[in-house]
Structure 1
């Protein structure tokens, strides 16, 4: 019975995904909805034959490594991942690190907000997705997307001047991430780099600040446009331990004019 339930779960989940959900080209000649079995197998780093046997309830009990590959390939949220493990009769272990793939509907949301600078950050402050206005406002997101590194090590004015509270918020969130993902190599390396390279980070970490996401108004110093008074609001994506940061300007202000200028500059690139 358990094999049949696992097989049904895999089939249903595969049928609900499109190629663009997992950054695959749609291609011609697709007769059925959802991903092909061989595409899921490739994404999960297993043979197509083994995956087909799982969907047909003929395969052996999959290992934790196989199940983690399937959870990643099928874009499972933490609760769905736990359910997958239980269907397979395997005790689920905590995720090794913070999710670093953004769900397609979250990415699409960013581009429906042309007057808002919007980014998605992971638990370790990596910017995973952004819209053009956010890139024009913050700059260099593709080359250096980690906001904690840019705040404490590069000391960029756009993230430093008027951002004292942001420093405490970053440390609070990184502390929480370190508790949840103690074995994640990327997070461990980032924390070591911040401790070694920033006296401000060491002092803020030692103070153990407590912050909660919510509305804030702050002044950013843009290298070309000078001080900008910006409203920051955060939407959480709890199933992926991610945050959507929305940066807006009050209508009729000089900052609103600056946003229009940045948006136009971003469209012309």
Structure 2
């Protein structure tokens, strides 16, 4: 099978997997076509019906990155699927324009299923985009404004009172990766400009080119009610969206573990009133 034929088969399969409601189109009467119509895909991708039909028939020219990005959006491809589409088309993969700043439903559900663990989700630029009730109890009203942890670390009051130096290197390493992946994202560009202008420490760490892989670390938090909490932070990556879920726990049997349970209990009692 040729590359054009593989691309054509991939496009047909993706089109047949969608229904009009998936892309905001009215369903209407019973359809004879499985999935979306070619006309609908072409309209959503801003291309001619004839051109899209030729792609599905393995007769079209090599599609440009703009066309492939448009089809990726219509078919709601994950980053891995988008890369696969570009490779099938024999076209160099271009970086996504911006980080994903929404949370997938299954990740949000995961946060709800661990009530005794504080958990937050951060995007590739360290914006906190989701959290569970215990995280709100641990970090307080700081989460309501969906803070950026990089901005807090270098320009404001950091969330943790210990291991700040280690966390600074972790933050910079992740932001360097984000800058490579999303060079044209305006929100990231503004953030990096703020950090460079406002923090000599940020500039110094950036110059060293730190490299860090997500994993386990321990730190001490200072809570206004519970006092000092010695906690563990473990990171689960969501590769398709370039996001991280941070789980905050304490060693069993420690004062910090008891304090977290009390905070969780208070949060549940308050929510049930």
TM-score interval, smaller chain = 0.7 to 0.9
After TM superposition, give the deviation of residue 167 of structure 1 in Å: 1.9
The corresponding residue for 2:172 is: 171
Relative distance call for 1:18 and 1:53 in structure 2 (3 A) is: closer
RMSD across aligned positions (CA): 3.9
Q: Quote the Cα distance in structure 2 between the aligned partners of 1:220 and 1:263.
A: 21
Number of equivalenced pairs:
264
Q: Quote the Cα distance in structure 1 between the aligned partners of 2:81 and 2:220.
A: 40
Q: Quote the Cα distance in structure 2 between the aligned partners of 1:128 and 1:18.
A: 29
The alignment partner of 1:66 has SS state of: helix
After TM superposition, give the deviation of residue 153 of structure 1 in Å: 2.0
The alignment partner of 2:143 has SS state of: coil
The answer (yes or no) to whether the contact 1:229–1:255 under 8 Å persists in 2 is no
Relative distance call for 1:194 and 1:88 in structure 2 (3 A) is: same
Q: Quote the Cα distance in structure 2 between the aligned partners of 1:233 and 1:124.
A: 18
Q: Does 1:213 align with 2:214?
A: yes
Q: Does 1:258 align with 2:259?
A: no
After TM superposition, give the deviation of residue 112 of structure 1 in Å: 2.0
TM-score, normalised by the number of residues in structure 1: 0.75
The answer (yes or no) to whether the contact 2:137–2:263 under 8 Å persists in 1 is no
Q: Quote the Cα distance in structure 2 between the aligned partners of 1:50 and 1:145.
A: 47
The corresponding residue for 2:80 is: 79
Stretches of structure 2 lacking an aligned partner (at least 5 in a row): none
Report 1:15-26 matches (<5 A): 16=17
The corresponding residue for 2:46 is: 46
After TM superposition, give the deviation of residue 246 of structure 1 in Å: 1.0
* Bigger Cα Rg: 2
Relative distance call for 1:116 and 1:194 in structure 2 (3 A) is: same
Q: Does 1:106 align with 2:111?
A: no
The answer (yes or no) to whether the contact 1:110–1:118 under 8 Å persists in 2 is yes
TM-score, normalised by the number of residues in structure 2: 0.74
After TM superposition, give the deviation of residue 213 of structure 1 in Å: 2.1
The alignment partner of 1:120 has SS state of: strand
Q: Quote the Cα distance in structure 2 between the aligned partners of 1:117 and 1:54.
A: 51
